[in-house]
Structure 1
Amino acid sequence: MHWHKPNWIKTSLILIALNLSLLAQKTELKFRNLGLKDGLSQGTVQSIVQDKKGFIWIATEDGLNRYDGNRFDVFKHDPDDLNSLASNDLWVIFVDPKNCLWIGTYQQGLDKYDPSTGKFRHFTSDLKDSSRISSNTIRALAADNKGNLWVGTRDGGLNKINLNNNKVTRISESIIDEKIRAILIDDNNCLWLGTHKGLVYFNPDENSVKHFTHTPANKFSISNNNIRSICKGDKNTLWIATQNGLNHFDPESEKFNRYDVESGLSSNDLRSVVRMKGNIWVATTRDGLNIFNKKDNSFYSQQQNPGNPFGLSAETLVTLFEDMAGNLWIGTRGAGIDIYSLQLNRFISFRKNHLENDQLNHPVIFAIAEQPGKNLWFGGQENGITQYSYETGRFTYLNVDAKDHLKIRNNEVRSMLFDSSDNLWIGYISAGIECFNVKNGSKIQFKNNPKDEKSLSGNNVRTFYEGMNGDFWIGTSGDGLNLFNRDKKSFQHFQNDPQDSASISSNYINAIIQDSEGTYWVATRNGINVFRMQDKRTKENAKFKSIRNIKGDKKSLSNDYVISITEARNGDLWFGTMTGLNHLKSKEKSNPQFRRYFMKDGLPSDVVYAILEDKKGMLWLSTNKGISKFNPQTKTFINYNTSDGLINLEYNSEAAFKSSKGYFIFGGVNGVDMFNPDSFELSSFNPAVEITSFFVHQKPFSVNNGLFFKDDINLSYKDNYFSFEFSVLDYSNPEKIKYRYRLSGLDNDWIESNRNFANYTDVKPGVYEFIVNGTNGDGRWSKNSSHLNIVISPPFWATIWFRFLIILLFIGLFYGLHRYRVNNLLKLEKLRIKIASDLHDDIGANLTQIALRSDLMAQGIVQDDKQGYLHGIAEMSRQVVKSLSDLVWAIDSRNDTLEKLASRMKQLALDVFEPNNIDCVFTSKGFEKTAKLDVDIRQNLYLIFKEAVNNIVKHSGSDHVEIVLDNTNEKFRLEIKDNGNGFENTLDNPGNGLKNMKMRAVQLKANLNITATKKGVTILLERSRF
């Protein structure tokens, strides 16, 4: 970002010239103080600089401070942190081209601070090591345009540090004095060194030096060898502050022009010098600030004034610094920093100062008048009148205790006016009127006489007005309106008559004007009164038309208590009331339709005391909250208060005046504020806007220990409550700075605020950009803004990859459900086929035999063994019934448990073995009642068991069988052992029964072993536990 001096400063120099010449003798510059109350670490300020971003850095005797216009960040030495500041006692600071800060300390060396890392690097002295700096007490720092930092020390001469590699080079003490207080580098990269032995010119390329010292006999030599400060002047000249005066040095002629107390300096003991705004500003050791005007070779000086709230805070000034906006920063001893800004000095102020006699004689100003080109007159509540002379800049007091022509009737002055004959009319709060001929000092008094109806109607005089034709009007507080007859020295009274609607609506008169059409407008506590005077200026010919507030009518007068009236150049009328500003267009005077303005429209206060129009048609209003500038075209207000240099917030009616010299003057409860609206230029300075802090859940968010945010900030979804702090780096009037910000992605519009922070809560995951902009001290929006990206990560369940997995899961689930249904259908189909096969193989074969035998018997083929055939048919029928029973049992879901299976198998064994006189021992264990079995498993297991039992009955010839069903431990075991004859071929026997058993064992994923001996057969089926 490239900085340049704003053009508006040149225009504003007119204001300074007016302040320091026209009102020079009693006008003081105004300063804003920053001290311990504001967060500064210590009151003695040794050095001030501004970095490339616009932050102000302050070196004190107790720490380093960074100021952003809102707060101070303090850096101090921490014995436990090697990367902290080396010492708290600091003497000088400097910002290099890379925006690194160099800090010279007292006895602890030189520190380099990088704001991007937040760490300090230390450079210390070692007399035995020439690669290190020559002294630990640093007094001066400066950088050339070749990448070198030059370091002046108190007792070790000059050092050079390469800014690229931090290499230190010592300059021989035989060439340059060891005590260096100031360094200035000219356009040729040559050094001008201020030492305690005079001025030294050093050319690094040629390694040559030249000394300039004080010579008592040579008036063109430097005034003193002890040099404190050096700054550039015009045409390559130098301004040099010494212990004994100021010097202007021309290197070409090698001559010094001296300035001292006799030239107008407040002191010869100088500490610092800067060139600013075309003038030379000089800080003294014990006598305040001096400004040298080169045009007339004159000095303006200002010392500490405890009675001035805007004055210098100390007599001892240490250092001066000009920032990018043209503000002057003054480091003091013990009182912090005083800041001079053009914005703070637009207003000239007079006030009562109890510590200084030559000022206003009273704080509360009710009346202002001017003897054109000569004197200003201020009337107060307590001590009479203060007269200010343009010519001498002196104050003169008129009161009841004064002598001769300065003596007045009463000290409570409410109104004043110079008439066309140059007479000063003075209205008192309780003592009537005094007409003062300022040329000859004569006075005429007018007071109410109850016995004289042509005397003044009342003694509490509120206002005066002289009409176009010389009519002279007096408004009183409680006794109506008076018209003065100059010839007869008599008064006509215009008072409220409740029985006469054409009489004036109130006896409390606040203001009177005659518009350009000759119509009179009177402001009262009960509305506005309009009238025209006929040729016969009598009470009977004055018919008043009153205009009042109408409830519910937004085009009526906003309040009946009307304080002031002003006619604009276009003929429009403006009324100040106790509740708002009212505008009446000239074409609507006959049928009043008011446009009203209140605080909600931008007024600082609804009470409008006085209205003055400038040459540009702007209206300047005095209120209960400062002065407001109103633009009738744009209908916008710019408000000014004490932060702008006003000594008043609350003003008074009638205490407003346009001087012959172009000043607008407003009187209030603390004195007088005046300004020239023609030179009232708004600042065009475009300050930087910086995000200074970021908080998550109200806790500071650290960024690599650095001061600045460079990268995106990444947060988790839980960190959705965060806030920002930001600053506009314009120090002219921080209180007037406004901000606007938005979180792109969340805020649709800019959010405007007077606060320098923004809070966001419950922010959803996403990518956001925070943008902040601000105004300068005059309310103009800067072209610069600051940006910071915020990335809030979603919870894992809200991420794209997680959603993708969920989609895959649902797809898999739906696919699994589909496959499950298909498998179930296939199982069902398989079961159907199996049932059909079983019906066909077992039941079908028996039914076929029954059918064949039945046919044979029916055809008479079987004759001999009919009974045997019938017995066989009966046996096969029973077999079919059993097979059907087994099949139905197998597919019945109520029989799915192991317990049901074991019970069925035991019953089968008993049914088969008992009729054949075979003893059976049936043992079962480890069967849970709720343990389920698939139909296939249950059927195959049962049919294997059935086949084995039938084989025992048919073939074994045994009389004892042992059956074990064991589902304990890790295996299921079915063991059937008989004591029959056995067989030789065991499982390889070609019988279909054994083949079926083997096939079903495979389907059960079980091992089937059949062992045959002469003592019987053992069938063992094993598989994993059910």
Structure 2
Amino acid sequence: MHIKNNTLTHIDRISLPLKNQGIVSSLYYQNGILWIGTKLQGLFQYRLSDQHWQHIHEGNSNLLSNNIRKINKGPNNTLMLGTLKGLSVFTGSTPFINYKHNTLVPHSLSQNSIYDIFVDDQQIIWLGTYFGGINAIYPNMIPLHVYSSRESPQNRLNSDIIGSFAESPDAYWIGTEEEGINLLDKKTGIMKPFPQLSRSNLIKDLSIRDSTLYAAQHGGGYSIIDLKTKTAQHVLLDKNPLHLKNNIYSIYAGVDNYLYLGTNAGLYIVPPGKPPYPVKILPTTLTDIQADNKNCVYFLLAGRLYKQDPRTKVIRLFTDPKLSIQGFYVHPDGDIWFTTATELYHLGDIKPLARFHNNTLGWPVMIDKHFWISSKNGLIFLDPTTKYTTVLNQYDGFPVKNMQGAKVYSSDAGVLFVTTLNGLVSIDTRKITFNQKKPNVLFRNIFLEETPLNYSRIQQGDHPNNYRLQLRYDENFITVNFSSSNFIKPHKNRYRYKLEGFDKDWIETSTPSVRYTNIPEGRHILSVYASNNDGIWSSTSLQIHIDIKPPLWRTWWAYLLYAGLFTLGVHFVIKFVVERQMLINSEREQEKKIKFFTQISHEIRTPLTLITAPLDEIISETANLSTTQSKIKRIKKNAAKLLGVVNELLDFKNLMTSTSS
């Protein structure tokens, strides 16, 4: 079938050389070759250029099975064949590379019968088996190898506790803290133990100058080893092997043939042909000794870096005493880099080159303008130009997680070596690649307390990965579950989230869920970003708009009702106060009036009493004068009436007084 400009031009009929009406199970076309997988007759290859057929089957190759279910492209232009009996990989010519289930081999196929093969955009190969579930083959982006006591005999170390490392032109020298020195041949890759080259089997540091290896030991002084003859001379600083002088933790052989020894009793310098002498300014255990391209020697002691002048041999403190140095590295060009607990500095700069939060740094090294730093969380990679950083840990193949105390070394070929308590790790930094594909944040579900929320309550927003959710006031205990679309080493995926109006800062975690309690009423936006295994973050966030409705008694119209009731209450209170004050004022006015009339009544009563008293005498005296007596009696009668009125006023006043009291 030929297609040109999205148009079918013509169809060619190809006769398949199948026997007994064989069944075609899979087809794959690549680079002018058509691959045909059959159910029982193996694999057919058809070259379109010359119409040549080639039949590959169990009888003429190591193909696992003639029953081929699926053909798909593999890495590095290989061809993967899913068969009844396992996975066969065609590399361009037979034999095949075969993979089968083996209970004794870790990470082998879960089951041999493969029905489907799928390669996603991250180049992860997914294998669907008959009853073994799904298998995943991840692209090997970290060319890492671990030398340990669990290796094959040719690569086996005699101890896993690695304390030191050194490189000679033809070999790597590995110092263990249990079984002495090992040699790794560069050409053959064969590991050989040489415990006889040291007085003590606890090697703390190694240094090579010309064709001589110097080995610092705990409880054994130091050894001078001829690399050509593999013979050793053992030296003690004190005749007593248990003396602190013989516990040497760091050693450096200078270009001027001076030997520097960092012991438990401080620094000792061994001049050429002379006995060692102590340096009083450095009286305790030294962590490391290195030198630059100008023959200046640097000493790390108790978090401080000291420098020796190559001409005068005077040693002085070289760094700010406020900085507590964890480790340092002297570059071949003379630049010095050192770490504090969370920062990487270039010597001479005030500001750090990089900060690493929630981590504790160890030793740095630079290879091809990139930094590698041991740390509590693993091995840090830093590109100083782009500021890109990622952490390699046990999920990348390292034998340990905490590598804060691990030392890092760079070989002449650019291979990185890391000493750990569980073997020596080597990484070919020239071949390493990082996962640069940005992941997406995938929404999974929401739980209210422990109950999953019905998906019908979650509404799709206006933009992709945008959702809306309305909750009642008593549904403010929620758990949101999400994930990253990155499936390469998914345990290294990280997440960053923030609930606007609730969280002050972004929160980073490795857990693909977030839980909130007692979220206040109102509108909030939960934003979530995800990173892949190498620290590349998604460009688009997952956003969930959460609208928590208030209870009935906290709605806007409820508050409006509360305001109306409050206003009405204030009105009645004011009315009561005003009317009460008016009543009080009225009573006061009334009282004033009564008091006034009472005073007038008293003023009238006294004269009336004085008037009525002599009238009786006048009436007796004028008994014979009827006319006069009649007039006087009329005067008395009216005076008595007036006095009665005055008395009634006084009685009313007394009654009002008793009532008010």
Q: CA deviation at 1:467?
A: 3.9
What residue is the counterpart of 2:534 in the other structure?
Answer: 778
2:340 maps to 1:543:
no
Aligned CA distance change for structure 1 residues 741 and 556 (closer, same or farther; 3 Å):
closer
**What letter corresponds to residue 324 of structure 2 in structure 1?**
S
**What letter corresponds to residue 585 of structure 1 in structure 2?**
L
What residue is the counterpart of 1:18 in the other structure?
Answer: none
Q: Distance in 1 between matches of 2:290 and 2:103?
A: 42
Aligned pair partner of 1:729 in 474, 485, 508: 485
Question: Does the 8 Å contact 2:167/2:411 carry over to 1?
Answer: yes
Aligned pair partner of 2:192 in 383, 388, 397: 397
Q: Distance in 2 between matches of 1:794 and 1:648?
A: 51
Deviations 1:812-850 (CA, angstroms, capped at 9, x unpaired): 8899999999xxxxxxxxxxxxxxxxxxxxxxxxxxxxx
**What letter corresponds to residue 350 of structure 1 in structure 2?**
V
Q: Distance in 1 between matches of 2:382 and 2:215?
A: 31
Aligned pair partner of 1:349 in 126, 145, 161: 145
Q: CA deviation at 1:724?
A: 1.3
Q: Distance in 2 between matches of 1:635 and 1:643?
A: 23
2:435 maps to 1:669:
no
Aligned CA distance change for structure 1 residues 812 and 250 (closer, same or farther; 3 Å):
farther
What residue is the counterpart of 1:900 in the other structure?
Answer: none
Q: Distance in 2 between matches of 1:666 and 1:731?
A: 27
What residue is the counterpart of 1:793 in the other structure?
Answer: 549
Aligned pair partner of 1:445 in 208, 227, 232: 232
**What letter corresponds to residue 283 of structure 2 in structure 1?**
S
Question: Does the 8 Å contact 1:603/1:637 carry over to 2?
Answer: no
Deviations 1:167-193 (CA, angstroms, capped at 9, x unpaired): xxxxxxxxxxxxxxxxxx9989xxxxx
Aligned CA distance change for structure 1 residues 477 and 265 (closer, same or farther; 3 Å):
farther
2:404 maps to 1:660:
no
Supply the RMSD in Å over aligned alpha carbons. 5.6
What residue is the counterpart of 2:322 in the other structure?
Answer: 556
Aligned CA distance change for structure 1 residues 715 and 628 (closer, same or farther; 3 Å):
same
Q: CA deviation at 1:690?
A: 2.2
Question: Does the 8 Å contact 1:349/1:674 carry over to 2?
Answer: yes
Q: Percent identity?
A: 18
Aligned pair partner of 1:696 in 440, 444, 448: 448
Q: CA deviation at 1:702?
A: 1.3
Q: CA deviation at 1:782?
A: 0.5
Secondary structure (helix, strand or coil) at the match of 1:643 reads helix
What residue is the counterpart of 1:512 in the other structure?
Answer: 289
Which consecutive unaligned segments of at least 5 residues does structure 1 have? 1-184, 189-202, 217-223, 401-406, 486-490, 535-540, 549-553, 588-592, 822-876, 882-887, 893-1026
Superposition pairs of residues 941-960 of structure 1, within 5 angstroms: none
Aligned pair partner of 1:649 in 387, 391, 401: 401
Aligned pair partner of 2:524 in 754, 768, 773: 768
Q: CA deviation at 1:685?
A: 1.6
Aligned CA distance change for structure 1 residues 558 and 297 (closer, same or farther; 3 Å):
farther
Question: Does the 8 Å contact 2:100/2:108 carry over to 1?
Answer: yes
Superposition pairs of residues 221-300 of structure 1, within 5 angstroms: 230-234=27-31, 237-238=34-35, 240=37, 248-250=45-47, 255-257=52-54, 267=64, 272-280=70-78, 282=80, 292-293=90-91
Superposition pairs of residues 932-943 of structure 1, within 5 angstroms: none
What residue is the counterpart of 1:359 in the other structure?
Answer: 155
Deviations 1:444-487 (CA, angstroms, capped at 9, x unpaired): 3111267999xxx9776655545455x363636447545475xx
Deviations 1:473-524 (CA, angstroms, capped at 9, x unpaired): 3636447545475xxxxx5454435xxx45x434x45432222333111235
What residue is the counterpart of 2:201 in the other structure?
Answer: 412
Aligned pair partner of 2:328 in 551, 560, 565: 565
Question: Does the 8 Å contact 2:165/2:172 carry over to 1?
Answer: yes
Greater C-alpha Rg: 1
What residue is the counterpart of 1:685 in the other structure?
Answer: 437
Aligned CA distance change for structure 1 residues 237 and 370 (closer, same or farther; 3 Å):
farther
Which consecutive unaligned segments of at least 5 residues does structure 2 have? 578-640, 646-651, 657-661
Q: Distance in 2 between matches of 1:543 and 1:733?
A: 51
Secondary structure (helix, strand or coil) at the match of 1:778 reads coil
What residue is the counterpart of 1:473 in the other structure?
Answer: 259
Secondary structure (helix, strand or coil) at the match of 1:783 reads coil
2:504 maps to 1:738:
no
Aligned residues: 581
Deviations 1:330-365 (CA, angstroms, capped at 9, x unpaired): 4567765553334x6414122336484343223233
What residue is the counterpart of 1:585 in the other structure?
Answer: 347
**What letter corresponds to residue 357 of structure 2 in structure 1?**
G
Secondary structure (helix, strand or coil) at the match of 2:78 reads strand
Superposition pairs of residues 45-64 of structure 1, within 5 angstroms: none
What residue is the counterpart of 1:934 in the other structure?
Answer: none
Q: Distance in 1 between matches of 2:161 and 2:85?
A: 31
Q: Distance in 1 between matches of 2:347 and 2:413?
A: 30
Deviations 1:916-948 (CA, angstroms, capped at 9, x unpaired): xxxxxxxxxxxxxxxxxxxxxxxxxxxxxxxxx
- Higher mean C-alpha deviation, range 645-654 or range 296-305: 296-305
Question: Does the 8 Å contact 1:368/1:657 carry over to 2?
Answer: yes
Aligned CA distance change for structure 1 residues 518 and 814 (closer, same or farther; 3 Å):
closer
What residue is the counterpart of 1:574 in the other structure?
Answer: 337
What residue is the counterpart of 2:596 in the other structure?
Answer: none
Aligned CA distance change for structure 1 residues 792 and 245 (closer, same or farther; 3 Å):
same
**What letter corresponds to residue 505 of structure 1 in structure 2?**
P
What residue is the counterpart of 2:365 in the other structure?
Answer: 612
Q: Distance in 2 between matches of 1:652 and 1:760?
A: 34
Aligned pair partner of 2:278 in 475, 492, 496: 496
Q: CA deviation at 1:555?
A: 4.8
What residue is the counterpart of 2:122 in the other structure?
Answer: 325
Aligned CA distance change for structure 1 residues 528 and 809 (closer, same or farther; 3 Å):
closer
